[in-house]
């Protein structure tokens, strides 16, 4: 595999933020039209972002208690179910009563329990893990190539684009993007660690996050 195994917690800074701020500084009326034009230019960019990142018209979502798994075809759910080899703890199972959508659950029995159980496990290992988190969105992509395409959407203006083969976490969207081809409980636990650490206040730096994320892989697989 040529891709580097890495997962990147992207900065919360909006890549377009400098443009927006630059626009704010222009006070004269003469530049009003050009400001309008630059705002208009952002609209197609925004649409591309929505279409590529969320695949809004095509993707289906499988809701678990704490996550939203976005997938394209039923087989994606089944593939995820097969790839995540993980047994939730007794303690977790005793307090878990979530009922997933019956049709989706029939496709991938136990996937909701495994996904939530894994998030619970990662949180229980992380010291100071916050109790209330937003929904974690999980996007199931085909392979390494698709993961890198999505990563480019989140960091389009970098001279040396980051690469992330198995998956990455995008803090702006509380979303994890993973390659189904390379998925394992360890990979998902790694990205879940980035997600949980991004909820800390203050958010730990990247090196600290990466150490925890890599440690977490060894606690799951
Ligand atoms: Zn990482």
Helix (H) or strand (E) segment spanning residue 74 = helix 74-83
Running DSSP on this structure, what letter comes out for residue 60?
Answer: E
CA 213 – ligand 1 centroid, Å: 6
What is the rounded CA–CA span in Å between residue 180 and residue 105?
A: 19
Cβ(86)–Cβ(117) below 8 Å: yes
What is the rounded CA–CA span in Å between residue 108 and residue 119?
A: 18
pLDDT of residue 121 exceeding 80, the answer is yes
Which two structure tokens, joined as six digits, stand for 85?
A: 């080899």
pLDDT of residue 31 exceeding 60, the answer is no
Q: What is the pTM of this model?
A: 0.76
CA 59 – ligand 1 centroid, Å: 25
CA 168 – ligand 1 centroid, Å: 7
CA 73 – ligand 1 centroid, Å: 27
What is the rounded CA–CA span in Å between residue 175 and residue 169?
A: 6
- The pLDDT assigned to 155 comes to 77
Quote the percentage of the chain above a pLDDT of 70: 70
CA 81 – ligand 1 centroid, Å: 22
Give me the residue spans of the domains in the chain. Answer: 60-220
pLDDT of residue 27 exceeding 90, the answer is no
CA 123 – ligand 1 centroid, Å: 16
- The pLDDT assigned to 201 comes to 93
pLDDT of residue 16 exceeding 80, the answer is no
**What number does CATH give the domain 60-220?**
3.40.390
CA 83 – ligand 1 centroid, Å: 19
Binning pLDDT at 50, 70 and 90, where does residue 22 land? Answer: very low
Give the burial class of 43: count Cβ atoms within 10 A of its Cβ; 0-12 exposed, 13-18 middle, 19 or more buried. exposed
- The pLDDT assigned to 33 comes to 58
**Cis before residue 171, ω within 30 degrees of 0?**
no
CA 29 – ligand 1 centroid, Å: 47
CA 48 – ligand 1 centroid, Å: 26
For 142-147, what is the mean pLDDT?
Answer: 94
pLDDT of residue 3 exceeding 80, the answer is no
- The pLDDT assigned to 220 comes to 85
- Which residues neighbour ligand 1 (ion) by CB within 5 Å? 7, 210, 213
CA 8 – ligand 1 centroid, Å: 5
- State pLDDT tens for residues 169-191: 999 999 999 999 999 999 999 99
- The pLDDT assigned to 43 comes to 60
pLDDT of residue 195 exceeding 60, the answer is yes
Q: Which of 150, 154, 144 is nearest to 187 (CA)?
A: 144
CA 82 – ligand 1 centroid, Å: 23
Pick the more confident residue, 52 or 124.
124
Binning pLDDT at 50, 70 and 90, where does residue 9 land? Answer: very low
Considering the chain, what is the average pLDDT of its residues? 81
CA 190 – ligand 1 centroid, Å: 6
pLDDT of residue 77 exceeding 80, the answer is yes
What is the per-residue DSSP string for 109-154?
TTHHHHHHHHHHHHHHHSTT--S--PPEEEEEESSHHHHHHHHHHH
Cβ(109)–Cβ(103) below 8 Å: no
What is the rounded CA–CA span in Å between residue 96 and residue 181?
A: 29
Q: Which of 91, 128, 93 is nearest to 113 (CA)?
A: 93
Site of tokens 């609209």 = 43
What is the rounded CA–CA span in Å between residue 91 and residue 120?
A: 10
pLDDT of residue 19 exceeding 50, the answer is no
Binning pLDDT at 50, 70 and 90, where does residue 51 land? Answer: low
Which two structure tokens, joined as six digits, stand for 205?
A: 């730096």
What is the rounded CA–CA span in Å between residue 210 and residue 207?
A: 5
Which two structure tokens, joined as six digits, stand for 193?
A: 């660690």
Site of tokens 């039923």 = 74
């Amino acid at each position: 595999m040529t891709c580097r195994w890495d997962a990147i917690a992207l900065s919360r800074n909006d890549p377009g933020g400098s443009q927006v701020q630059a626009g704010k500084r222009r006070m004269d009326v003469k530049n009003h039209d050009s400001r309008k034009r630059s705002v208009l230019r952002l609209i197609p960019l925004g649409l591309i972002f929505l279409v590529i990142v969320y695949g809004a018209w095509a993707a289906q979502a499988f809701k678990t208690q704490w996550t939203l798994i976005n997938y394209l075809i039923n087989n994606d759910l089944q593939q995820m179910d097969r790839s995540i080899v993980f047994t939730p703890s007794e303690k977790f199972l005793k307090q878990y009563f979530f009922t997933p959508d019956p049709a989706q659950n029939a496709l991938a029995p136990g996937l909701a329990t495994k996904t939530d159980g894994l998030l619970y496990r990662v949180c229980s290992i992380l010291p100071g893990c916050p109790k209330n988190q937003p929904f974690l969105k999980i996007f199931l992509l085909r392979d390494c190539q698709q993961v890198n395409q999505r990563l480019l959407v989140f960091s389009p203006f970098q001279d040396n684009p980051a690469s992330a083969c198995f998956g990455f976490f995008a803090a702006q969207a509380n979303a994890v993007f993973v390659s189904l081809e390379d998925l394992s409980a360890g990979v998902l636990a790694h990205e879940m660690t980035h997600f949980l650490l991004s909820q800390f206040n203050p958010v730990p730096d990247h090196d600290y996050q990466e150490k925890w994320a890599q440690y977490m892989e060894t606690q799951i697989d």
